[in-house]
Amino acid sequence: MNNNQANGLTYDNIGFQLEEGRPPPYTPPQGIYPPLPQGTPSYVAVTPKTINTHHTVIPGTPHNTGQKKGIKKCHWKRILCASLCVLLILAVVGLLLWYFFRLHGTNFMLQSYSSESHTWMPVCAENWDNNYGSAVCEQIGYKRQDYVSYTQTSAGSLASKGYMKLKPGSNHGSHIHSQLTYSQSCSSRAVKLHCIECGVSSAAPSTRIVGGTEAVSGAWPWQVSLQIHGQHICGGSIISPYWILSAAHCFQAYSNPGMWMVYAGDLSLLQMSFGPGKTVNKIINHEKFDTKNNDNDIALLKLNTPLTFTRTVKPVCLPNIGVDLSAGHQAWITGWGALRSSGPSPDRLNQAQVTIYSRETCNRPQVLNGEITKTMICAGKLQGGVDSCQGDSGGPLVVKEGDVWWLAGDTSWGIGCAFRNKPGVYGNVTYFIEWIYDQMQNE
């Protein structure tokens, strides 16, 4: 967090030195079937964040006839081709399972994709039960033990083209989507699905915001500290008992999962260091992350053992399609980052309120001069004085809508800390939702 301007230009929110430059604009991955809208909100605007040169160096880390041959070749080619095709089909089916379902809006309404009408439709709650709900959440990428419940909600105008409804005689033993069929009407309401209890804090944040202030215990229970040898390096957000979302740039110099420890549940870094941390099983950086400009700056950490949720350890909600996180919304940033550019870092978690700006605003010549891409958003105060800073990298940018907190961004980069007309830049989590669920489902 930062509430002071520093003389000169520095780069913040990064743990390691990056080069300058920009890659081509991000091209969203195209699924084979069904074609899906990206659902990227209008606020998406980001430019690569460059790594701070004043990072702390951690000691001990790694810095006979042709005819017969022809027949034989053809035979093996066919076998190989058939085998590869089967593997490819299985892989595609696995990857696309969750694409047949998604959650919509702040009421978590379940939608299913109709391959006949190529439309997303609400799922009718007729004959639905928690066994179906749990199975769908698993297909999306959550663990069965994370499942909360299903209830019902009004589909409203989203049911104008009909519903997807369970066929007569459906059971829980086969793929749920194959048991759904189109129906013009529904005698019940739509399915509301809670795959995980998320976005609920145990305390309200302080309303006094001038620069940054110390956070209140329980206000940001998804915030974690990512450490090496007991030293805080980056922040992250809990999205499930096994998964932490952070920024890809944090792991470029230190990519060995065994080096990292994850700490959660306390405001004080010192206090957390006395408690048990969680070891990391795997670090998944976005395959298109660009070190030159921090495009696609997102990563997932899978823990070896799950977190135990408590009053001060809880997940934040991943944004559903239809959740409004557009420009003008007030958001909150949290972290143990420096209090000014290249300045000291606090022991206790700090928080600050910022404004999300449109990509058009962020890309103005006098602001971030066209550097914000689809994979980014920018937020802060154009007048300066409030921003994230070194050490906040990977931490959350959250927005409250519908009584829960949504993860809008992960702290990525910025020009200095809290400079006038230089808002901070964050990875656009909404843009990466498909990628996130893919990783969760396949690990």
Q: Which residues are catalytic?
A: 249, 297, 393
Q: What are the backbone dihedrals phi and psi of residue 357, each rounded to the nearest 5 degrees, phi first? A: -110, 155
DSSP one-letter code for 16: S
DSSP one-letter code for 13: S
Token reading at 417: 């800390």
Contact between residue 225 and residue 392 where contact means Cβ atoms under 8 Å apart: no
Nearest to 221 by CA among 307, 320, 345, 330: 307
Q: What are the backbone dihedrals phi and psi of residue 289, each rounded to the nearest 5 degrees, phi first? A: -60, 135
Distance separating alpha carbons of residues 178 and 145, to the nearest angstrom: 24
Distance separating alpha carbons of residues 340 and 104, to the nearest angstrom: 39
- CA distance to 109, 220, 352, 376, per residue, from 214 (Å): 36, 11, 9, 27
Angle between helices 433-442 and 130-140 (to 10 degrees): 100
Contact between residue 403 and residue 439 where contact means Cβ atoms under 8 Å apart: no
* Burial class of residue 100 (count of CB atoms within 10 Å of its CB; 0-12, 13-18, 19+): buried
| 330-335 and 223-228 strand pairing | unpaired
Contact between residue 258 and residue 208 where contact means Cβ atoms under 8 Å apart: no
Q: What are the backbone dihedrals phi and psi of residue 165, each rounded to the nearest 5 degrees, phi first? A: -135, 145
| 260-264 and 278-285 strand pairing | antiparallel
Q: What sign results for the dihedral spanned by CA atoms 380, 409, 322, 143?
A: negative
Peptide bond into 257 cis (omega under 30): no
Of the chain, the end-to-end C-alpha distance in Å amounts to: 34
Contact between residue 370 and residue 34 where contact means Cβ atoms under 8 Å apart: no
DSSP one-letter code for 389: -
Mind spelling out the 3-state secondary structure of 37-87? CCCCCCCCCECCCCCCCCCCCCCCCCCCCHHHHHHHHHHHHHHHHHHHHHH
